């Protein structure tokens, strides 16, 4: 018999991850994917419970189910059960990026370095930060932006101008809980990147 998680647990994980990315105070990891208003009774009252039943058959444990929902919320797909093909495409992309996190980070930083502007200009709040524009236009990955912010918190500086993109800013900050990386290694890569921006800027 194929192993699968219970549909109600699938629903609970979905609601927990959804709340994690939309509520500053809630931490899905801290509460092990459990949340109020996600009981069996709550599940049975939902009109879409059949979709959770179908989805639950795709995962043999809660770890994979949670990762699936994290991937989709990280990439802005807030209701992944609506389009299974799209949702699993995001999940595959998430797994691929995690497996090659260092290369992805380097490649994204190389793109940013090619802009030949200073670091301060890159994150400046005088206008929409070019760093954020690069993310929104799909030139760099949200994982890269999240790691950069984890290494040097610039998101607090962005709050004053991010009224229209507050959901994006929250998603970037909250994703940090789900990205594991070697801080010393990535800090060195990041420092080298910042030095290269200074060199490019001085040449200009």
Give the tens place of pLDDT for each residue, 81-139: 989 999 999 999 999 999 999 999 999 999 999 988 899 999 988 888 999 999 999 99
Listed in order, the ranges of the chain carrying CATH 1.10.220.50 are 100-203
The maximal CA–CA distance of the chain, rounded, in angstroms, is: 65
36-58, pLDDT tens digit by residue?
888 899 999 999 999 999 999 99
- Angstrom CA distances, 58 to 69, 176, 183, stand at 12, 26, 33
Query: Distance (Å, rounded) from C-alpha 68 to C-alpha 73?
Result: 9
Query: Distance (Å, rounded) from C-alpha 180 to C-alpha 145?
Result: 14
- Is the CATH number of domain 100-203 1.20.120.530? no
Q: What pLDDT was estimated at residue 190?
A: 97
Listed in order, the ranges of the chain carrying CATH 1.10.8.60 are 7-94
Fold of 7-94: Helicase, Ruva Protein; domain 3 (1.10.8)
Q: Are 79 and 47 in contact, with CB atoms under 8 Å apart? A: no
CB environment 117-155: b (16+ within 10 A), e (fewer): bbbebbbbeeeebbbbebbeeebbbbbbbbbbbbeeebb
Q: Residue 28 is encoded by which pair of tokens?
A: 């899905």
pLDDT band at 1 (very low <50, low <70, confident <90, very high): very low
Average pLDDT, the chain: 91
- DSSP state for residue 177 in the 8-state scheme: G
The model's pTM: 0.91
């Amino acid at each position: 018999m194929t192993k699968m998680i219970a549909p109600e647990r699938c629903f609970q994980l979905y609601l927990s991850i959804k709340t994690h990315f939309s509520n500053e105070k809630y931490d899905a990891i801290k509460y092990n994917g459990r949340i109020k208003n996600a009981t069996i009774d709550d599940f049975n009252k939902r009109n879409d419970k059949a979709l959770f039943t179908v989805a639950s058959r795709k995962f043999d444990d809660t770890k994979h189910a949670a990762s699936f929902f994290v991937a989709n919320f990280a990439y802005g797909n807030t209701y992944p059960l609506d389009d299974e093909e799209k949702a699993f495409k995001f999940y595959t992309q998430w797994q691929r990026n995690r497996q090659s996190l260092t290369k992805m980070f380097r490649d994204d930083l190389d793109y940013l370095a090619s802009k030949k502007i200073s670091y301060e200009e890159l994150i400046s709040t005088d206008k929409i930060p070019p760093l954020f524009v690069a993310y929104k236009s799909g030139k760099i990955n949200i994982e890269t932006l999240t790691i950069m912010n984890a290494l040097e918190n610039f998101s607090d500086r962005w709050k004053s101008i991010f009224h229209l993109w507050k959901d994006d800013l929250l998603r970037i900050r909250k994703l940090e809980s789900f990205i594991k990386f070697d801080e010393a290694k990535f800090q060195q890569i990041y420092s080298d990147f910042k030095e290269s921006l200074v060199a490019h800027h001085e040449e200009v």
